[in-house]
Structure 1
Amino acid sequence: MNAATALVQAQPWENPATTNDHQRYARCIQVSKRVRWDIDADVIRGRDFDYSHTFLPAGLSMVDALDFLDQDERRFLSQVQGRTYAYVFGLVERFIGAKMLQTSGQHWLGDQTALEALVRFSDEELKHQELFRRLEALMEARMPPGYVKVAEPNAVAGQVLQRRSWAVLGLISHIELFVQNHYEQSIAPQTELCPLWKDVFLFHWREESQHAILDELEWRAEYERIDDAEHDAAVDDLIALVGAVDGILQAQAEADCRYYLAACGREFDAEQSARIGDLLLRAYRWQYIVSGVQHPRFSKLLAEMTTPAQMQRIVAALAPILGA
């Protein structure tokens, strides 16, 4: 077991009935201090991306399903998806950081340990955004021209933050739980990935691990603050937010398909082009929606904070995405 794995495993999901919230905030601060890293000194270290290697592993990119692509073409498609993977994380971290700063106001005149934990969380999210901007500049310089980012971070954040806090915190919890699974189950075990790309998500994972604990604390706290009517409306907001995420994924999948077809270096027939587009959307929905919805911790939390009728509304809204 490596040091990073041991460190995160040492931070269990304590039962709030036996460990109070103050202690959980304090432990997140301890971990934050221990795993703190610097973009240049620890992550990039003067390196560039190695385009002879895969970026996003096949467990997330699903490229192996396209049997008409050769090895080089699959690798390039993994790099296109890897670029989008980094872009989307930078996009969502714009509203995550802003929301956690906003949420910290609940603790300004209260538990200062909780306040420090959320301020550190927000600081780390700002650093992650800077990291992903740096990565985009590196990829822009070396990858073929024509890549399109379909959503502007501030515009997306502005729309997200208009929704009720319970819904926004639920979306954030969903995102930061699937980050854990993606790294641990798909990225970490692979040895053929581009070293810089893999390191980016190793260091990202190290700080996101305690963020997921803080997300849960704040999501539960918001649930306790609101009444039944407000909560019922917040369930609709959560459904709307997932729908908005899916809209971005649909547009990005279309843009990435056009980019790949133009930059790949050979012609594809209509059926093959359609399969590439379908796979990109299926992969993006798996990465950013389905893998989070199916995360056992998220499922448990959501079930605890919804009525059967509310859960049925959520399931019905997700059915087209899960079915696809």
Structure 2
Amino acid sequence: MNVATAVLPVQSWEGSESEARHQRYARCVQVSKRVRWDIDADVIRGREFDYERTFLPVGLSKVDELDFLDADERRFVSQVQGRTYAYMFGLVERFIGAKMLQTSGQHWLGDQAALEALVRFSDEELKHQELFRRMELMMDARMPAGYARVAEPNAVAREVLGRRSWAVLALICHIELFVQSHYEQSIAPQAGLCPLWKDVFLFHWREECQHAILDELEWRAEHERIGEAELDAAVDDLIALVGAVDGILQAQAVQDTRYSLACIARRLDAGQEARLGETLLRAYRWQYIVSGVQHPRFSKLLLEMATPEQMQRIVTALAPILPS
């Protein structure tokens, strides 16, 4: 190619939709630089988890509904859920980071602020995975043996990344919006939580806030690229992905129920065991599906993009999961 033929006139973005998007990407880069933190120097700081304290607050864990357990037993179940909470975020961030790194290809020869924002996003997700692996090692050393994870992160990521981009970006946006609401509405206001556990999710939240903005930008951009038939198929992919998440939650709730029962010093009756399992599943569905689906921003975005018929399919699929 003649280099001269590749030189195009400089075009002004001022006042255009492209400029508005560019500015949103640029602000995300600025915030990423300002809030960046280090696992050891800022988060862990030589501390251990305090097992005399609650991990996951009742607004998320629903352990206050387990009135047949005493205070120590409810606290232990909150710690089991806290461990699963860290595990689940480590799991989903495996495919989130990979998807955003893949999506950055849309900007390789375009808006370099967008490219930097997504590369920083991916870097932060890798750091979050390392943080959650560190948490797992620390909890494994102090909590009773027998805890098990039911899904392997790479296997889950391969399944998710095999779906259409619109659906994957919708799922990611959903996840990172509920991260914000969990911290702001339940974790931050709750006094008495384990200080280190609470700090993990404070620092996680600080970087996830701009991630949700980037999720929306990329989801909207993908929506603009695809046609009606592709959108219709992508809605089916989103429904399938939510179903797959629910399958993981059901299996983890069973496993965490068994683990909790094995660690509680006394024997519960059959009805109490069933209530424990039902409460864990309801809590997990609230944490990882319902709180995101009901997030006002996610609902607004989905209503803007999906047709009424597609929304009805989504609502029908969610009916068995949503609270009655």
TM-score scaled by structure 2? 0.94
Partner of 1:4: none
RMSD between aligned alpha carbons?
1.1
Q: Cα deviation per residue 1:190-220 (whole Å; 9 max; x = unaligned)?
A: 1100000000000000000000000000000
Q: Which residue of 1 aligns with 2:111?
A: 111
Match of 2:39 in 1: 39
Letter in 2 for 1:43: V
- Deviations along 1:214-246, one digit per CA (max 9) or x if unpaired, are 000000000000111001000000000000000
Q: What amino acid does structure 1 have at the position aligned with 2:295?
A: H
1:1-324 to 2 correspondences below 5 Å: 20-323=20-323
Q: Deviations over 1:261-295 (max 9, x none)?
A: 00111110000000000000000000000000000
Partner Cα separation in structure 2 for residue 250 and residue 72 of structure 1: 25
Aligned partner of 1:305: which letter? M
Provide the C-alpha distance between the structure 1 equivalents of 2:178 and 2:126, rounded to a whole number of angstroms. 20
* 1:127-186 deviation digits (Å, cap 9, x = unpaired): 000000000000000000000100000000000000000000000000000000000000
Q: How far apart are the structure 1 equivalents of 2:197 and 2:129?
A: 15
Offset of residue 18 of structure 1: 10
Identity of aligned residues (%): 82
How far did 1:17 drift? 6.2
Q: Which of the pair has more CA radius of gyration?
A: 2
CA distance in 2, matches of 1:163, 1:253: 26
**Where does structure 1 lack aligned partners over 5 or more consecutive residues?**
1-15
Q: Distance in 1 between matches of 2:225 and 2:50?
A: 49
Distance in 1 separating the partners of 2:265 and 2:42 = 35
Report the secondary structure of 2:321's partner residue.
Answer: helix
Q: Could you tell me how far apart the structure 2 residues matched to 1:243 and 1:232 are?
A: 17
CA deviations 1:14-37 (Å, max 9, x no partner) are xx9697100000000000000000
Give the secondary-structure state (helix, strand or coil) at the position aligned to 2:320.
helix
Q: Residues of 1 paired with 2:159 and 2:111: CA distance?
A: 30
Quote how far apart the aligned CAs of 1:189 are. 0.4
CA distance in 2, matches of 1:66, 1:191: 20
Equivalent AA in structure 2 for residue 264 of structure 1: I
SS in 2 for 1:150: coil
Q: Secondary structure at the match of 1:48?
A: coil
Task: Provide the rounded CA distance (Å) in 1 between the counterparts of 2:265 and 2:125.
Answer: 37
Q: Quote the Cα distance in structure 2 between the aligned partners of 1:234 and 1:152.
A: 24
SS in 1 for 2:175: helix
| Shift in Å, 1:77 | 0.4
1:322 counterpart SS class: coil
- The one-letter amino acid of 2:261's match is L
* Rounded Cα–Cα distance in structure 2 between residues aligned with 1:82 and 1:44: 16
Tell me which residue corresponds to 1:6. none
> What residue identity is the alignment partner of 2:307?
T
How many Å separate the matches in 1 of 2:30 and 2:303?
30
1:323 CA displacement: 3.9
